[in-house]
């Protein structure tokens, strides 16, 4: 059916994808492919930028010099990831200004996880371990995504993310080897972040609106449920190793499928958080809006100065 409706261009495009040849910015691509990528890459970039806020919340309170430096470096990496992702998005014809405006207006989405607050130092460990851990599952797969600039950005990002995941886990290990208060702090962080981390993979395949087309275009390489399952399989043994309890009474190893069975995700909570009703949605957008507004005169000054320099050069 599909074959009959393909024009020659579409046919050539799909054949590149089927042969694992990357699509590059100057190549012809269907509008819907372009739109899907702009949506996905910009959401990804926004997630990096918004993701700086919950972790940035603990930089000034980091418990020692080493942790402060590592956290600064991590948050700086995230700003860098945002920057290359916006650049990848710009190769598709969308501007960073427009994309930022969509973020501030609430039109654009970002990962729901960053709408949860970081309440203790252990949350910095949990975010690195679980949130970056979940992000990596997705991102490793995206290194093979069909759009060249996005795939290449992901290769670089993945290297840094896996370092973030390890440092998060190392914070948790240190806490679990520490005092009773530290162990309780770590467990409490896992209790709060486990389910939201599972939600990061998005709705179940049955309810995911964009999945099938994205798989055909190789924008996505695995389904949401496949990635979620891989994450659970990888993470549960790490929790057990250091004595953390996963807050899911239905979690059980299933020999037959070679993976863990797990309990029901609260999709109503997920729906609420992505539609703006999470614990920190308003604060996150307010912080971005404030930075954007307060930065406006700075950006204008930089432009005005550059113009003066250029006109001096020209005359």
Contact residues for other proteins, defined by CB under 8 A: 49, 52-53, 56, 59-69, 72-73, 75-76, 79-80, 82-83, 86, 121, 171, 174-175, 177-179, 181-182, 287, 290-291, 294-302, 304-305, 308
Q: Cβ neighbours of residue 300 under 8 Å, at least 6 residues apart?
A: none
Q: How far is the CB of 177 from other proteins (least distance, A)?
A: 8
* Complex with other proteins: residue 75 or 136, whichever CB lies closer: 75
Contact indicator for 84, 156 with CB cutoff of 8 Å: yes
Q: How far is the CB of 80 from other proteins (least distance, A)?
A: 6
Contact indicator for 260, 236 with CB cutoff of 8 Å: yes
CA dist., res. 93 & res. 42, Å (int): 12
Q: How far is the CB of 162 from other proteins (least distance, A)?
A: 20
Q: Cβ neighbours of residue 294 under 8 Å, at least 6 residues apart?
A: none
* Complex with other proteins: residue 237 or 243, whichever CB lies closer: 243
Q: How far is the CB of 291 from other proteins (least distance, A)?
A: 5
Q: How far is the CB of 50 from other proteins (least distance, A)?
A: 9
Q: How far is the CB of 1 from other proteins (least distance, A)?
A: 45
* Complex with other proteins: residue 66 or 313, whichever CB lies closer: 66
* Complex with other proteins: residue 31 or 181, whichever CB lies closer: 181
* Complex with other proteins: residue 72 or 119, whichever CB lies closer: 72
* Complex with other proteins: residue 219 or 280, whichever CB lies closer: 280
* Complex with other proteins: residue 266 or 296, whichever CB lies closer: 296
Q: How far is the CB of 58 from other proteins (least distance, A)?
A: 9
* Complex with other proteins: residue 67 or 220, whichever CB lies closer: 67
Q: How far is the CB of 51 from other proteins (least distance, A)?
A: 9
């Amino acid at each position: 059916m599909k074959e009959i409706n393909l024009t020659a261009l579409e046919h050539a495009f799909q054949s590149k994808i089927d042969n694992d040849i990357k699509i590059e910015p100057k190549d012809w691509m269907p509008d819907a492919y372009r739109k899907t990528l702009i949506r996905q890459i910009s959401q990804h970039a926004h997630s990096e930028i918004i993701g700086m806020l919950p972790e940035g919340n603990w930089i000034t309170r980091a418990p020692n010099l080493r942790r402060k430096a590592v956290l600064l470096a991590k948050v700086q990496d995230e700003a860098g990831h945002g920057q290359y992702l916006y650049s990848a998005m710009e190769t598709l014809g969308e501007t960073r200004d427009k994309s930022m405006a969509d973020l501030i207006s609430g039109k654009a989405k970002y990962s729901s996880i960053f709408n949860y607050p970081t309440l203790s130092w252990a949350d910095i460990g949990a975010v690195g371990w679980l949130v970056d851990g979940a992000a990596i599952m997705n991102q490793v797969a995206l290194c093979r995504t069909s759009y060249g600039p996005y795939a290449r950005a992901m290769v670089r990002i993945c290297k840094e993310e896996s370092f973030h995941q390890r440092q998060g886990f190392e914070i948790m290990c240190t806490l679990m080897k520490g005092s009773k208060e530290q162990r309780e702090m770590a467990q409490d962080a896992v209790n709060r972040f486990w389910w939201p981390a599972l939600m990061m993979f998005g709705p179940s395949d049955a309810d995911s609106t964009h999945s099938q087309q994205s798989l055909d275009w190789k924008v996505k390489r695995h389904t949401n449920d496949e990635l979620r399952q891989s994450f659970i399989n990888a993470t549960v043994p790490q929790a057990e190793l250091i004595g953390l309890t996963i807050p899911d009474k239905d979690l059980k190893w299933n020999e037959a499928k070679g993976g863990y069975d797990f309990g029901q995700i609260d999709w109503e909570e997920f729906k609420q958080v992505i539609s703006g009703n999470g614990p920190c949605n308003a604060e996150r957008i307010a912080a971005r809006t404030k930075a954007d507004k307060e930065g406006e005169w700075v950006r204008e000054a930089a432009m005005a100065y550059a113009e003066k320099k250029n006109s001096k050069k020209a005359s």
